[in-house]
Amino acid sequence: MAKRDNTLKLKFDSARKFAPAPESRSAAKIKPKYDLFINGKFEKPLSKKYFDSTNPATGEKLSEVADSSAADVDKAVKAARNAFNSWSKLPAAERGKYIFRIARMVQERARELAIVETLDGGKPIRESRDFDVPTAANHFFYYAGWADKLEYAFPNRTAKPLGVAGQIIPWNFPLLMAAWKIAPALATGNTVVLKPAETTPLTAMLLAEIILEADLPPGVVNIITGAGSTGAAIVNHPDVNKIAFTGSTDVGKIIEKAIAGTDKKATLELGGKAANIIFEDAPLDQAVEGIVNGIFFNQGHVCCAGSRLYVQESVLESVLRKLKDRIETLIVGDPLDKNTDVGAINSKQQYDQIMKYIKIGINEGSDMFQSSCTLPSKGLYIPPTIFSNVAQSSRIAQEEIFGPVLTIQSFRTDDEVIEKANNTPYGLSAGVWTDKGSKIFNLTTKLRAGVVWANTFNKFDPTSPFGGYKESGYGREGGLHGLAPYLNLV
Ligand code: NAP
Ligand code: MG
């Protein structure tokens, strides 16, 4: 095990210090090419292939990343397997220190990470800077603290790590999803092979640099880039013990089939179609602000986005008017500008998907309202869009759009809205806006969703478990519950 001075100089506020907008690309020193991070080294892919990572706001190429073949996956899994024996036997407090060090280094490189996240994925710099990066650091801090306290988490039980965790993440919160995956795996003594999404691999490669600099023993974390076939090779590798996946319900189902009959364990965080419910007694201005944040945050590329709004009939007109007025004030544009509220759509494929659903909504007969903002002349942008007069059975109310598109329906009674809110294949999250505690209690017990927010939305904290009901997946990430899926509890 590498020797290192574990004394850490505390500097907790570095994630909050930033230069004025617009952020400059040159502040992020993106390398022209990234190799695979395997066994504590950056290695050229056996496939010899690379693909481009681009900026969806401009179409410009940012870098090249390696395209891992099954042989590259095998190499990474072997490295993780070799590292498992000593990593899992390391005193738990030592594991905690390594994770703590990663957290600190994420903070130290916060500005750069935020800029790269925004360049690679298209999200507003304000979000990368104030949400993605600090929340990722917090996740590492939180699980660093758990490493030597597992016996308190699971009293009277022996908590043994599973082995090699294969982790596959999406493009909507690339660094944060990497933190959600890696931190609990390491705290519990597992080793990791992680694959970021094809369109947003760069912050994962920066995290690989951090892990190298943090002196983690070689092979404990391996980060490999590639497309869906690389993900499939991880899932199908016989020496992987656990799959942690966040992405679409379609791919989640493919993974479930692939591991059926094997001894692999899985955690699946899949799609969503969250109901956000406004009662007539709610503070309407606050609720409208929460609705806007719930659907337009990260261009709506959020699995728990509040994409279905239900408004009690008596306040429908008032809420609609306030919503339209508010949407007109949103700034859509350059993701690097700190005033931007809605950035670029992550990829051409996702852009086409959202535009397809907007056409479907129009053809289904719903009323569309779009912000009249001026969009940048190049890049992938869609103005904030709301549909009213939406039927519960319509496709735009049932299917995940994963973009800045909100559907609006009205309701009269609690029972009616509970029935409508629960009436999709998904069950990831929901929101309730009301002045009455009794309504909050009634709805949180009856809504079939893994997370129900009351008078707020899209609030995350490492201490809170997150995960789905129904086709939104199973297993929990975050909090104490996020540790158990990485352990054999005997
Ligand atoms: P996805 O296709 O499920 O991709 C998620 C991750 O899985 C990516 O790293 C992807 O690699 C990889 N992957 C693709 N096919 C695979 C396979 N057969 N086996 C193993 N891994 C595989 O989702 P997406 O393309 O990013 O987005 C499509 C839809 O998924 C969205 O429209 C939305 O509905 C949903 N989504 C949900 C979440 C969530 O947080 N719940 C996040 C993102 C997307 P590539 O990147 O190379 O394809
Ligand atoms: Mg990109």
Asked if the model's pLDDT at residue 10 lies above 60, the reply is no
Q: Give the tens place of pLDDT for each residue, 404-453.
A: 999 999 999 999 999 999 999 999 999 999 999 999 999 999 999 999 99
Using CA positions, which residue lies closest to atom 21 of ligand 1? 231
Residue 363, in any domain of the structure: yes
pTM for the whole thing?
0.94
> Domain check: are 280 and 208 in the same one?
no
The tally of CA atoms less than 13 A away on the side-chain side of residue 219 is 19
Asked if the model's pLDDT at residue 12 lies above 60, the reply is no
Q: How far apart are alpha carbons 446 and 231 in whole angstroms?
A: 36
Q: Tell me which ligand sits closest to the C-alpha of residue 468.
A: 1
Rounded mean pLDDT, 216-222: 98
What's the gap in Å between 311 CA and the centre of ligand 2? 37
Asked if the model's pLDDT at residue 4 lies above 90, the reply is no
Atom of ligand 1 nearest to the CA of 177: 40
Over the chain, what is the mean pLDDT? Answer: 95
> Domain check: are 415 and 286 in the same one?
yes
> Domain check: are 285 and 423 in the same one?
yes
Q: Which residue has the tokens 């892919």?
A: 45
CATH number of domain containing 305:
3.40.309.10
Residue 4, in any domain of the structure: no
Using CA positions, which residue lies closest to atom 12 of ligand 1? 228
pLDDT of residue 8: 40
| 303 in active site | yes
Residue 316, in any domain of the structure: yes
> Domain check: are 249 and 362 in the same one?
no
pLDDT of residue 19: 43
Q: Tell me which ligand sits closest to the C-alpha of residue 176.
A: 1
> Domain check: are 441 and 478 in the same one?
no
> Domain check: are 182 and 329 in the same one?
no
Choosing from 237, 248, 302, 426 the residue with most ligand 1 atoms within 8 A of its CB, the one to mutate for a pocket test is 248
Q: How far apart are alpha carbons 445 and 247 in whole angstroms?
A: 27
Rounded mean pLDDT, 254-259: 98
Report the share of the chain in percent with pLDDT over 90.
93
> Domain check: are 278 and 265 in the same one?
no
Cα–Cα–Cα angle for 138, 471, 404, rounded to 5 degrees: 65
Q: How far apart are alpha carbons 427 and 422 in whole angstroms?
A: 7
Which residue segment(s) compose the domain that 160 sits in? 25-270+469-489
Residue 227 · residue 201 · CB < 8 Å: no
pLDDT of residue 23: 77
Q: Give the tens place of pLDDT for each residue, 324-361.
A: 999 999 999 999 999 999 999 999 999 999 999 999 99
> Domain check: are 240 and 383 in the same one?
no
Atom of ligand 1 nearest to the CA of 250: 3
pLDDT of residue 171: 98
> Domain check: are 289 and 264 in the same one?
no
Strand partners, 16: none
Residue 249, in any domain of the structure: yes
> Domain check: are 307 and 265 in the same one?
no
**Phi, psi of 121, deg, nearest 5:** -110, -20
Catalytic pick among 23, 43, 198, 303: 303
Residue 477, in any domain of the structure: yes
Q: Tell me which ligand sits closest to the C-alpha of residue 350.
A: 1
Q: Which residue has the tokens 């009436």?
A: 423
Specify the number of domains making up the chain: 2
Residues with CB under 6 A from ligand 1: 168-172, 195, 197-198, 227-228, 231-232, 235, 246-248, 251, 254-255, 269-271, 303, 353, 400, 402
Q: How far apart are alpha carbons 472 and 485 in whole angstroms?
A: 17
Asked if the model's pLDDT at residue 15 lies above 70, the reply is no
Atom of ligand 1 nearest to the CA of 428: 41
pLDDT of residue 469: 97
Choosing from 132, 168, 199 the residue with most ligand 1 atoms within 8 A of its CB, the one to mutate for a pocket test is 168
Asked if the model's pLDDT at residue 364 lies above 60, the reply is yes
Atom of ligand 1 nearest to the CA of 235: 20
| 317 in active site | no
Residue 159, in any domain of the structure: yes
> Domain check: are 304 and 442 in the same one?
yes
Q: Is 442 exposed, middle or buried (0-12, 13-18, 19+ CB in 10 A)?
A: middle
Q: Give the tens place of pLDDT for each residue, 26-67.
A: 888 899 999 999 999 999 999 999 999 999 999 999 999 999
Q: Give the tens place of pLDDT for each residue, 177-210.
A: 999 999 999 999 999 999 999 999 999 999 999 9
Residue 462, in any domain of the structure: no
**Phi, psi of 230, deg, nearest 5:** -65, -40
Catalytic pick among 269, 400, 471, 477: 269
Q: Give the tens place of pLDDT for each residue, 62-85.
A: 999 999 999 999 999 999 999 999
Q: How far apart are alpha carbons 415 and 410 in whole angstroms?
A: 13
Residue 430 or residue 157, greater confidence = 430
Asked if the model's pLDDT at residue 3 lies above 70, the reply is no
> Domain check: are 321 and 243 in the same one?
no
CATH number of domain containing 83:
3.40.605.10
pLDDT of residue 156: 87
Residue 398, in any domain of the structure: yes
Q: Give the tens place of pLDDT for each residue, 271-288.
A: 999 999 999 999 999 999
What's the gap in Å between 270 CA and the centre of ligand 1? 9
